[in-house]
Amino acid sequence: MPSHMELGVSKIVQNLLTSSAERQQGSKVLIHSQPDKKAIIAMIEQLQMVLFPDYFVKKKVSRYAAEYYIGSVLDEIYINLVGQVALVLLQLDVFQKADETIRNAEATRIVEQFIATLPQIQSYLYMDVDAAFDGDPAAFNKDEIIFSYPGLYAIMVNRLAHELHLLKVPLIPRIMTEHAHSLTGIDIHPGATIGKYFFIDHGTGVVIGETTEIGDWVKIYQGVTLGGLSTRAGQGLRNHKRHPTIENRVTIYSGASILGGETRIGEGSIIGGNAFITKSVPPHTRVSIRNPDLEFQRDEMEETDQSKYWN
Amino acid sequence: MPSHMELGVSKIVQNLLTSSAERQQGSKVLIHSQPDKKAIIAMIEQLQMVLFPDYFVKKKVSRYAAEYYIGSVLDEIYINLVGQVALVLLQLDVFQKADETIRNAEATRIVEQFIATLPQIQSYLYMDVDAAFDGDPAAFNKDEIIFSYPGLYAIMVNRLAHELHLLKVPLIPRIMTEHAHSLTGIDIHPGATIGKYFFIDHGTGVVIGETTEIGDWVKIYQGVTLGGLSTRAGQGLRNHKRHPTIENRVTIYSGASILGGETRIGEGSIIGGNAFITKSVPPHTRVSIRNPDLEFQRDEMEETDQSKYWN
Amino acid sequence: MPSHMELGVSKIVQNLLTSSAERQQGSKVLIHSQPDKKAIIAMIEQLQMVLFPDYFVKKKVSRYAAEYYIGSVLDEIYINLVGQVALVLLQLDVFQKADETIRNAEATRIVEQFIATLPQIQSYLYMDVDAAFDGDPAAFNKDEIIFSYPGLYAIMVNRLAHELHLLKVPLIPRIMTEHAHSLTGIDIHPGATIGKYFFIDHGTGVVIGETTEIGDWVKIYQGVTLGGLSTRAGQGLRNHKRHPTIENRVTIYSGASILGGETRIGEGSIIGGNAFITKSVPPHTRVSIRNPDLEFQRDEMEETDQSKYWN
Amino acid sequence: MPSHMELGVSKIVQNLLTSSAERQQGSKVLIHSQPDKKAIIAMIEQLQMVLFPDYFVKKKVSRYAAEYYIGSVLDEIYINLVGQVALVLLQLDVFQKADETIRNAEATRIVEQFIATLPQIQSYLYMDVDAAFDGDPAAFNKDEIIFSYPGLYAIMVNRLAHELHLLKVPLIPRIMTEHAHSLTGIDIHPGATIGKYFFIDHGTGVVIGETTEIGDWVKIYQGVTLGGLSTRAGQGLRNHKRHPTIENRVTIYSGASILGGETRIGEGSIIGGNAFITKSVPPHTRVSIRNPDLEFQRDEMEETDQSKYWN
Amino acid sequence: MPSHMELGVSKIVQNLLTSSAERQQGSKVLIHSQPDKKAIIAMIEQLQMVLFPDYFVKKKVSRYAAEYYIGSVLDEIYINLVGQVALVLLQLDVFQKADETIRNAEATRIVEQFIATLPQIQSYLYMDVDAAFDGDPAAFNKDEIIFSYPGLYAIMVNRLAHELHLLKVPLIPRIMTEHAHSLTGIDIHPGATIGKYFFIDHGTGVVIGETTEIGDWVKIYQGVTLGGLSTRAGQGLRNHKRHPTIENRVTIYSGASILGGETRIGEGSIIGGNAFITKSVPPHTRVSIRNPDLEFQRDEMEETDQSKYWN
Amino acid sequence: MPSHMELGVSKIVQNLLTSSAERQQGSKVLIHSQPDKKAIIAMIEQLQMVLFPDYFVKKKVSRYAAEYYIGSVLDEIYINLVGQVALVLLQLDVFQKADETIRNAEATRIVEQFIATLPQIQSYLYMDVDAAFDGDPAAFNKDEIIFSYPGLYAIMVNRLAHELHLLKVPLIPRIMTEHAHSLTGIDIHPGATIGKYFFIDHGTGVVIGETTEIGDWVKIYQGVTLGGLSTRAGQGLRNHKRHPTIENRVTIYSGASILGGETRIGEGSIIGGNAFITKSVPPHTRVSIRNPDLEFQRDEMEETDQSKYWN
């Protein structure tokens, strides 16, 4: 006698597929036209290898063969990225009905532009390493920063994703930055514009919104939000500047929130921990929570069973 | 002459095993009766594939074969989950001495019930996608949300783990939600009850406690805590409602904390960023930090060597 | 006719390599003298297996063969770690010009000392498990803690990395703790000193700085920062005590910041959520935000299209 | 100073590529238009799974899900094979300049015909299993034959490859039979026609040429050649019948050679071991080497050092 | 409109499953009760590692940890083999209806006996290495033999499989020897009994039948058959001695066939290449083909196009 | 109570290790100084890729990047081969006590010479492809030969291994040719010297001994032995010419044996199938078995149960 399962499973499978197909207007069931998330993540690793060849090449390569090896990895990036971009172009109205040849040509044009920016991105990243070393007394040396600092990783992925964002590639830049978000707890939208010598220390909980602009020599700490004032208008706010502008040489300590598209933090200012700022701050200003309004009271420490470790 | 290592290693090995055995009362050294964390994580990926077949199927599947493929993945989930559940049933007093046949039967019963809920979970998740799209002006389209939004991932895992929690499966639901916590920084206990059209934006640092209840159309931001007022009573508080109730259409901005099992946020209310709330809020109320109590001072900017980037 | 790509790629490759070589003074292009991040992460998994043999051994092992298996994994740790340490010794001035034999001998000496501490680390970790169980009413049992609590994982990695830090191993301890940071959102510097029965609940966003000292029976929540008061002096602050001291039996609730090397939280004190503390707190004191300064206002709820889910 | 290697390697690489390009008229350097040998071999394993589902399915599948699983594997075969066939069609004059769409359509047509023959191939293979069981007293049971007999494997691959050969697919059938040749030492050209109830025992060294025809109930042993009389005319002989015809119920013992396109072994005949036959044999004839022309002599056994084990 | 494929595939899948189910009397569709061929092959590699620890251990192991490592591999063999044996016991009438517990107990008993024979098998194999070194002037040293001689590999697998055969394990021994057959072209039935100091040179095409008995210091070459005289009686011959007896110190040159259960090659005899022997040979006899009956004729060498390379 | 296994396994492990250690004079237990067979086999695949870049490159490579890719693979071959050769040099008396630096230098010298011969080996292999195409009417085209002909594979491996043999590298050449032997059934000793335009058809069972010399335009078939007359003198024959010389344009049909170091087959001769030749043959001679001495008899076909398929 067939079990409940045997009778029911066929219906469950059909439900799962139908519901999905309806959502997608029947047009994309198990299609081959979505980007491959794992391939995109693998590509980030290869880009990291190409940008920091002394650190992330995982196998022995002879010195004389460095050019062969990096050239070969770069070609792999090139081929994979053209493939992924050609798929996501389907998300744009103008390419939705374009055949594969046209999308491949456009994807090739985009990816060649992207790859041409890599040397510049590399030079910015070495500046970011310098900023981290000068900014963090706990940094043993620059190698430690390149190998292990989550802030540098998040900035690297943002700099790469931002180029693709400027080239109007849909989906992929966000998949890239959300991967960095997952690894680092730092959520930088690909649309955010970031200057030279940027440093994020610790980083967990940092949020930097789509239309944020950040100058040079800026340093921020964990838990900082550079966000929108309100998002209650939903999709109606699309394409407005909703996030703040941070000028050169600003430092923002942990937990501070700076909100709103009109809000501008002037050059050289310092924003203290947990500050909540929704208006502009003039240059060279130090903003801090005035009197941490705390109550101190001696505690009568009863020793209950449950609290034996915690009292 | 044997090195220090040769002489000492045997003792170290024995220490490591003995200490472990004592802890476990000698009964579980290198047992085969613990769940397999990697298998459970792999199962989450397969569930994601089954719930969003258009997005996460990693290989080409013909349209006519979609039912074969999803049916096949579902069976893999079924077999693996029965195996894992049969193991963790040993953690429950009533099954601790049950032989394998009885545990397998119970595991089968549980898993069949779980799988039967998948179509409904899927329909809730598509509502969550709609909520994210309407709530986030930075969302390019719904595909971007499904592919990359950590909030959606965390909710998906919670909806799945919550079903297993209701079916009284130990360990596995928590392993699942902690995996989502690791990937997203969003920590939702499997016991939390969540309504329709739920959206978590950015998400890092969100904590939602075991006895939290959340209505429909609720939206929360990064760093929000829905927690207990005090946990100093430890295990004595088990099974009490310790976490708040959030009614329909509430929005909670980043960094806000809402604490306590008696605390109820009324329908349609808005809780501002960094608010710290331990008492109930009536419906349709906007709560915000009144005057951000900040001190502004012009900074004399000395240019020392160490501060060349940061002042 | 060659494409833009064909002409340009050779130059891009050379740029990427040259810039890197210049940075490194031409000396390390694609060298084999950097640690292997993936190998170090794999080693953490093996250490977890050795420390909790009942939980993380992934294959069936006969009871009589437990000693063989753990001994074999320990040897794998030993060999890999000697190899990695011998590489990173190049980062220390005294070993920069030492040949391989000398570095291997030193690495062997270090690793043997490290392995000899494992039984003690194991015993501390079981105390941490007890602390978590007693401190969290949501904990189903101790197995759930070992399998899934991010706090325990972060503490385990810190206890391991701290030993290597004390043995003056560069880079590797930080790579280890940053891996834990990536998985848990908990950022503990390898230099931090942590007592017995330590518990971190939820944990995302916790930052514990290099010179922090933590006593026994301490419990902290998500988003807690034990940090420096100011880091504007950069590398000039290296080797100073910049982070606070937390005495025995202190509890620190979520979002609190305790900053500065002179700051000391006295025994048995309780620091409330979101408190911002830069001065010492005497023993047995309860510190909390006095009056959460909130504004409540009834909201006129207009029903616009964009806000249909969120009002 | 660059080593010999550094100077020479670039030239070696260029030589290797140039020589290859010249051979191929410059047109196919590192192309993507060759079949993927590993993919074809993987496909044989999947076909074996589909043809003998009780034996070669490598993971647990619920009974009710068998249809899902086999359907899913069959679809994987279908998709991969269409891809590979579309590539090799370039080898045929008529498709050499066809664009991808046309080749895909033709490949789809071919593969659908191929898949439609699988049930019949399966029924023939079960007859071959019966033949092996009845013919080999050493066979423990039919499961042993299906799991381990190289003769059955070689016949399975031939029956599959022969269908593709009849459908005029270039390269792939030969890659398939040469894979079986490599595993079994049995070399059957895809062009050979084989009847029902065929059994090859032991099999190593068997060669069955392109234009061989074999009836039903035929049994052959290791080292048997069914070959051409002379191949000195090379490509001039293409498409002539060059290999023998073996009628029903013939047995051919080990090491026998039967050569020539006109040679026909009549029904029910038995060809003895090592026989060398270039003329037809009438039905129901037993052919054997008359007097094994051997010389026997007593050996004077000198005991030298070198021969201590062997004399 | 659905394609031919869409309509037909469901029927093909059902045909493939039905036919299989009928064959198997409906009882074993996609069962979990068949041995896992890949697991058995992996076990051979582990046994090779345990028998020749100096040669086939693939990773670095400290000298002091050798016992841990080999003990650990041995336990892996033990666990896997018990699992596989418990499955194949179903093939025996007496265990066909035995439940899992009984089969596991019997499998454990068998495997413990098998493992206890490994040291003796190892000592025999080192004798076989000596025999190969003394017998082959082309052998560079004994390491070359252990690493690369197919004859040694085939003998190793036979010695292992023969022990399992003596312990009445079905299927597995034959799967093992057919794996060796596939790799070496040497087909030794697990039932064959082989003495000490055995050497097979080159080996391709060697067949050694089930009831063959081979003494000590025997050497055979490629293409030698030790087979049955006729197998036309099929399963009726089961359990009869059908294959020859080879006494001590016999050498058999390439291509010789020795057939029949009554045939005995006396001690110290030498059988020449291509000899075909169906009667016993007395001790110390040299048997060779008397006059190779060859015809020599001068060839008129016409130079046609086709033969330009070939005379 | 401990089982038999628990008590005995420790002794078995020690036996297995002791016996091995004794054999090796205690000096090599679980050493790291043996070549890695899998690495050597992987290297053959990479060499095949480099020699036939149009056929065996497994991933997409842009045309402009071909040089990068092949250069990169060549460097991988170079690094791995230097490592393996440095290990096997320990097998030579002169290097047995050399330290690693000296062995690495010698290995580097050897490998650079080896790599410099690759372009010439490639040009010979393309001649071998031509020979196969002209010699085999069943060859569809040259691609089929490169992809699937075992003869070409065996010759490729011999040409590579022969160069290493000439450079006095121990063990590795034989491991290479035995790998080819395993895949193809063709056993060519690395010492054998082979001219241009060589073709082996079918190939299973071919044996070509260490001191064989083969001219240009030679073609041989399956089962051909070019061997020694007698090997009873064992290691005493080392370094003597023990195998035949085959002059230009000779054809040798299947199963023929040509034995002895003095035996020379003159230019343009043809050796018929199964011929057994131990004396030289003058040029332009056709040698065949005169009258296949066969007995024909009508068989009375009794129809017993056992023979229903075979008589």
DSSP labels, D142-155: HHHHHHH-HHHHHH
Q: Residue E184 has what pLDDT? A: 98
Q: Does residue A163 have a pLDDT over 70? A: yes
Sign of CA dihedral A266, A267, A269, A271: positive
φ, ψ for residue B288, nearest 5 deg: -145, 160
C52:B284 CB<8 A:
no
Q: Does residue B11 have a pLDDT over 50? A: yes
E12:D137 CB<8 A:
no
Q: Which residues of F touch C68 (CB under 8 A)?
A: 13
CB pairs under 8 A between D and F: 231
Q: Does residue E32 have a pLDDT over 80? A: no
Listed range (C176-190, D142-156, D163-177, F224-238) with the worst mean pLDDT: F224-238
Task: Please answer whether residues A277 and C217 qualify as being in contact, where contact means their C-beta atoms are separated by less than 8 angstroms.
Answer: no
pTM over 0.90: yes
- Are 3 or more Cβ–Cβ pairs between A and B shorter than 8 Å? yes
Q: How far is CA C286 from CA C190, C254, F304, in A?
A: 29, 14, 100
B64, B65, B75 member nearest D65 (Cβ):
B75
H-helix segments, D117-243: 118-135, 142-148, 150-166, 172-184
Give how far the C-alpha of residue F194 lies from the chain's centroid of Cα atoms, to the nearest Å.
Answer: 12
Q: Residue D127 has what pLDDT? A: 97
Residue type, F180: A
Q: Which residues of F touch E115 (CB under 8 A)?
A: 5, 9, 12
As a whole-number percent, the residues of chain F with pLDDT over 70 amount to 86
Residue D38: count of CB within 10 angstroms of its CB: 10
Q: Residue E125 has what pLDDT? A: 97
- Are 3 or more Cβ–Cβ pairs between C and A shorter than 8 Å? yes
D51, D69, D299 member nearest E270 (Cβ):
D299
How far is C12 from B305, CA to CA, in rounded Å? 35
C2:F64 CB<8 A:
yes
Task: Please answer whether residues F189 and F209 qualify as being in contact, where contact means their C-beta atoms are separated by less than 8 angstroms.
Answer: yes
Q: Residue C301 has what pLDDT? A: 46
| pLDDT tens digits, A169-207 | 999 999 999 999 999 999 999 999 999 999 999 999 999
Task: Please answer whether residues F201 and D225 qualify as being in contact, where contact means their C-beta atoms are separated by less than 8 angstroms.
Answer: no
Closest residue in B to D74 (Cα–Cα): B65
How close, in Å, is residue B194 to chain A by CA atoms?
A: 21
- The predicted complex's ipTM stands at 0.90
Q: Which residues of A touch C275 (CB under 8 A)?
A: 292, 294
How close, in Å, is residue B61 to chain C by CA atoms?
A: 32
Q: β-pairing, E251-252 with B285-289? A: unpaired
Interface of chain D toward chain B, CB-CB under 8 angstroms: 59-62, 64-65, 67-69, 71-72, 74-76, 78-79
Q: Residue A8 has what pLDDT? A: 75
Sign of CA dihedral E87, E93, E99, E103: negative
- Residue for token digits 């398929």? F309
Q: Residue C26 has what pLDDT? A: 42
Residues counted in chain C: 311
Element (H, E) at C174: helix C172-184
Q: Residue D262 has what pLDDT? A: 95
Q: Residue D32 has what pLDDT? A: 53
| pLDDT tens digits, F42-68 | 999 999 999 998 888 878 888 788 889
Sign of CA dihedral C278, C280, C283, C285: negative
Q: Does residue C228 have a pLDDT over 80? A: yes
Residue E100: count of CB within 10 angstroms of its CB: 12
DSSP 8-state symbol, F299: P
Which residue, E99, E105, E208, is CA-closest to E162?
E208
Task: Please answer whether residues B207 and C222 qualify as being in contact, where contact means their C-beta atoms are separated by less than 8 angstroms.
Answer: yes
C112:B5 CB<8 A:
yes
- Are 3 or more Cβ–Cβ pairs between A and E shorter than 8 Å? no
How close, in Å, is residue E62 to chain D by CA atoms?
A: 35
Q: Residue E28 has what pLDDT? A: 35
Q: Which residues of A touch B62 (CB under 8 A)?
A: 30
| pLDDT tens digits, B153-162 | 999 999 999 9
Q: Determine the average pLDDT of the residues in B194-217.
A: 97
Q: What residues have CB less than 8 Å from D299, skipping those under 6 apart? A: E268, E269, E270, E284, E285, E286
Please name the chains neighbouring C, where neighbouring means 3+ C-beta pairs under 8 angstroms. A, B, E, F
Q: What residues have CB less than 8 Å from A34, skipping those under 6 apart? A: A28, A87, B54, B55, B143, B147
Listed range (B186-200, E144-158, F129-143) with the worst mean pLDDT: F129-143
Averaged pLDDT score across all residues of chain E: 87
Mutate to test the interface with B, among D72, D80, D82 (most CBs of B within 10 A): D72
Listed range (E283-297, F105-119, F145-159) with the worst mean pLDDT: E283-297
Q: Residue A267 has what pLDDT? A: 97
Q: Determine the average pLDDT of the residues in E56-76.
A: 88
Confidence of residue A303 (pLDDT cuts 50, 70, 90): very low
Q: Determine the average pLDDT of the residues in C243-259.
A: 96
Sign of CA dihedral D15, D20, D22, D23: positive
Which residue, A17, B75, C47, E243, is CA-closest to D59?
B75
| pLDDT tens digits, C117-136 | 999 999 999 999 999 999 99
Confidence of residue C212 (pLDDT cuts 50, 70, 90): very high
Listed range (C286-300, D262-276, E171-185) with the worst mean pLDDT: C286-300
Q: How far is CA A46 from CA A49, D28, F215, in A?
A: 5, 27, 49
B285:C294 CB<8 A:
no
Confidence of residue A300 (pLDDT cuts 50, 70, 90): low
Q: What residues have CB less than 8 Å from A161, skipping those under 6 apart? A: A172, A173, A174, A176, A177, A190
Please name the chains neighbouring F, where neighbouring means 3+ C-beta pairs under 8 angstroms. A, C, D, E
Report the alpha-carbon angle C274-A207-C311, nearest 5. Answer: 80
Buried-state track B258-281, b at ≥16 Cβ within 10 A, e below 16: bbbbebbbbbbbbbbbbbbbeeeb
Q: Does residue E234 have a pLDDT over 70? A: no
A70, A141, A233 member nearest C13 (Cβ):
A70
Q: Which of A59-73, A152-166, D278-292, F128-142 has the highest mean pLDDT?
A: A152-166
| pLDDT tens digits, E114-168 | 999 999 999 999 999 999 999 998 899 999 999 999 999 999 999 999 999 999 9
How far is C121 from C152, CA to CA, in rounded Å? 13
E165, two tokens = 């055969």
How far is E156 from A245, CA to CA, in rounded Å? 74
Task: Please answer whether residues F161 and F85 qualify as being in contact, where contact means their C-beta atoms are separated by less than 8 angstroms.
Answer: no
E12, E257, E289 member nearest D115 (Cβ):
E12
Q: Residue C134 has what pLDDT? A: 92
Please name the chains neighbouring E, where neighbouring means 3+ C-beta pairs under 8 angstroms. B, C, D, F
Which residues are paired to D258 by β-bridges? D226, D277
How far is B116 from A5, CA to CA, in rounded Å? 9
Task: Please answer whether residues E178 and E157 qualify as being in contact, where contact means their C-beta atoms are separated by less than 8 angstroms.
Answer: no
How far is D150 from D173, CA to CA, in rounded Å? 18
How close, in Å, is residue E263 to chain F by CA atoms?
A: 23
List domains and CATH numbers for chain B. 32-185 (1.10.3130.10), 192-290 (2.160.10.10)
- Are 3 or more Cβ–Cβ pairs between F and E shorter than 8 Å? yes
How far is F153 from E17, CA to CA, in rounded Å? 39
DSSP 8-state symbol, E262: T
Which residue, B12, B224, A58, B63, is CA-closest to E3?
B63
Q: What residues have CB less than 8 Å from C11, skipping those under 6 apart? A: none
Three-state DSSP class for residue B296? strand
φ, ψ for residue D217, nearest 5 deg: 55, 35
| pLDDT tens digits, D248-266 | 999 999 999 999 999 999 9
Q: Which residues of F touch A76 (CB under 8 A)?
A: 59
Q: Does residue F282 have a pLDDT over 50? A: yes
